[in-house]
Chains A and B, each alone.
Chain A
């Protein structure tokens, strides 16, 4: 398949997953603050700043808003077009990518992206504030519907595998960030990184983390009602069967990469396969104690870095194809990492408007 088509499938999927995860963060934060209303209040900035930390966007946020509150953070993460990771930006970019390959995806997939885009154009900040639950539910459902439509109307060949890689790399990254932020919320800087004390507020916070991954019910089936941080981290990082755990997502991304290249265990054919295989193997033989020994925060940061490397290698292997006779692409220029509309498409926009007969 055309490298450009593969790349657009990849980014379409990635942006859609990112929008869903942002909706999850916001949804759970609202719930959490309502649960905690005895000891804090909905506008407690400490809780809202956490959501900005999730997206590593503190600087941009501070340049646009004066304070951290339900209103400003929701506006930034849902509506702000200057934030490339806001839900509205993600869905616009997912749609632009879909539009650029509209002949390659199923018309049902296009209709779903397009419908969500038009729905978002009609939503106002006021309506989200009045009924956040329904709004975030709508986004999550739209994402699930898109994945279901994709699975059932789009051939499970190479293109589908690129969609899977993107979805699971993005999801892994989001789970890691989410756990990491909880970690910041929990521990004051003075405390040791290996001791996590479970108070009642703490338990409610951990439950919120599980909920944002739709993992509370699945967790309870495994660990019954014993909600303690060790078990929660075990579940979210190391469980191999829950679809919103890190280990599951890495395995799924690895499977998709191997299907494309024909790699198998102990035999990789490119760097993307090698890096994802290494990550998967390590996760499979990691115990929670190993993570504590390294420090949870460091462990997650390292994981995020390694995911970036996998993404780069996917790009170099499949999207930025070149042969020795053809001038190699300048990597800086060739790496937009935003798919279609965020990067390189604009440079030729004016010429594309050429007159039509």
Chain B
């Protein structure tokens, strides 16, 4: 074992460690990695850290913290030890996600058409019709190929026993795929020898697959579709990703002010006049898309866009109104949704979930606030959360009040000890840090998943929150053929 791993404490009695099975014995798919790291000194690691930092800085992969004077730019935290997922485990994840996303799309199609699932009382109708992401005005609209969720990123965790569980589905504008791609580039530069020792499935084709998916959902077939990316602008924390994807796909990156709607068709303003747009990969939330329909104060949207969409002159990816299916309350129904539309048992399990809107569950939640994780149904990015075991009595009381006032908006789950993965601290020693996995699923004529995804890691010691807005970082993720 290497000098770094000699001193590493996996604490396997408490946690599922991705690398070490029981004290002293690594899992077989990490053997070659440990052998390689055994050859490295602290200086070797520091030198590789420098290569990675320069790569990220030169690529402009920074996120900006805007204060009062000028933005401070920081590198997105990146851990040098890659995560290895053996092919047979990946097959399960892949099948499970294809099943899940197919069922969720069927669900959206049903909710925005006949609402059979509500009539059959599989899901209480008030949960859907009362959801802030349900867009009544889009009932009856037919998106091309019947697809609503073209790009998704479900978050997958492993429990105490190493089972893969889905923690949440992100069906609106999931971010992070550019980090997945850039992490791979950085690792190739810093660890070429280690790379050569594994048969790593490539992910570099993601932008081409994304473009193909977007072209397949074009409303017109008589000419090469004009596809654009729509970004909120350079001050959005994911702006780098929007521009990166546009560049990789070779298409225009647009802001709301670049687009104009005329006669229910969408055009870009160019130096040569107007050019019609067929597909918009939008990274702007529903609420900001069109000031005539949603928030009238939106400066990011395009007036008339929604009408052009309703007339079928432009396709939006993802469709408007998908948020109704990634609501944390609806999440608890996904196993039933899979069973209802596909007649199958879910391949990937959910995390057990209690709904505060259900009176029995509510009692249980209020009685166990100190051990549960409570989440607001519609928040993302790690906001609006109570982690019971880490909270104070005052915080629990505050949440209890909020839950009772608006039970529809809260769910609770047991505190899962996410699996841990050794990660560098100060590039000198290894700590076990909690991780999750976000694979990116593309849905055009078929469902495509590039192998792996973004492994997010909670780099604060002991922290369970992996979101980048809360001090999380990421690792390269290798799906390897044995």
Contact = CB atoms under 8 A, between A and B. Distances in A.
Contact of A100 (B66, B174, B234, B272): B234
B282 to A, nearest CB: 12
Interface in B297-356: 298-300, 326
Given A96-B234, A356-B175, A321 B59 contact: no
A157 to B, nearest CB: 11
Contact of B269 (A3, A110, A114, A349): A3
Nearest to A6: B271
Interface of B: 57-60, 66, 70, 153, 170, 172-175, 232-240, 243-244, 246-247, 252-255, 257-258, 260, 262-263, 268-274, 284-285, 288, 298-300, 326, 379-381, 383
Contact of B262 (A1, A5, A114, A326): A326
A323 to B, nearest CB: 6
A2 B262 contact: no
Interface of A: 1-6, 81, 92, 96, 99-104, 107, 110-111, 114, 118, 158, 260, 318-319, 321-323, 325-326, 340, 345, 347-349, 351-357
Contact of A260 (B170, B172, B260, B271): B271
A4 B255 contact: yes
A99 B70 contact: no
A347 B175 CA distance: 24
B285 to A, nearest CB: 5
A321 B234 contact: no
B236 A3 contact: no
B236 A354 contact: yes
Contacts of B284: 354
30 contacts: A4-B269, A5-B252, A100-B234, A103-B243, A103-B247, A104-B253, A107-B59, A114-B60, A260-B271, A318-B271, A321-B269, A321-B273, A323-B262, A323-B273, A345-B235, A348-B232, A348-B300, A349-B233, A352-B233, A352-B236, A353-B236, A354-B284, A354-B288, A354-B300, A356-B236, A356-B237, A357-B173, A357-B326, A357-B380, A357-B381
Contacts of A353: 235-237
B170 to A, nearest CB: 4
A352 B57 CA distance: 23
A241 to B, nearest CB: 30
Given A2-B270, A4-B258, A348-B233, 7 more contacts: A4-B269, A110-B60, A322-B269, A348-B232, A349-B233, A352-B234, A357-B173
Interface centre among B236, B246, B381 (most CB of A within 10 A): B236
Interface centre among B153, B240, B244, B270 (most CB of A within 10 A): B270
A352 B246 contact: no
- Secondary structure dominating the interface of A: helix
B268 A102 contact: no
B253 A103 contact: yes
A357 B170 contact: yes
Contacts of A103: 243-244, 246-247, 253
Nearest to B175: A356
A355 B237 CA distance: 9
Contacts of B298: 351
B59 A2 contact: no
A99 B253 CA distance: 12
A3 B269 CA distance: 6
Contacts of A2: 252, 254, 258, 268-271
Contacts, number: 121
A50 B246 CA distance: 46
B300 A325 contact: no
A349 B237 CA distance: 11
A354 B380 contact: no
A351 B289 CA distance: 12
A96 B174 CA distance: 25
Nearest to A114: B60
B234 A351 contact: no
Contacts of B271: 1-3, 6, 158, 260, 318-319, 321
A356 B381 contact: yes
Nearest to B244: A103
A355 B326 CA distance: 15
Given A103-B243, A357-B175, A348 B299 contact: yes
Contact of A340 (B173, B234, B240, B247): B234
Contacts of B235: 345, 348-349, 352-353
B216 to A, nearest CB: 22
A70 B252 CA distance: 47
Given A2-B252, A2-B268, A351-B300, A99 B233 contact: no
Contacts of B270: 1-3, 321
Contacts of B238: 356
B124 to A, nearest CB: 25
A357 B243 CA distance: 17
A355 B236 CA distance: 9
A102 B383 contact: no
A99 B271 CA distance: 20
A178 to B, nearest CB: 30
Nearest to A103: B247
A188 B137 CA distance: 75
A99 B60 contact: yes
Contacts of A4: 254-255, 257-258, 269
A97 to B, nearest CB: 10
A114 B271 CA distance: 27
Contacts of B252: 2, 5
B50 to A, nearest CB: 15
B173 to A, nearest CB: 6
Interface centre among A3, A4, A81, A352 (most CB of B within 10 A): A352
B173 A356 contact: yes
Contacts of A99: 60, 234
Nearest to B469: A356
A110 B253 CA distance: 16
Contacts of A322: 269
Nearest to B323: A357
B242 to A, nearest CB: 8
Contacts of A348: 232-233, 235, 299-300
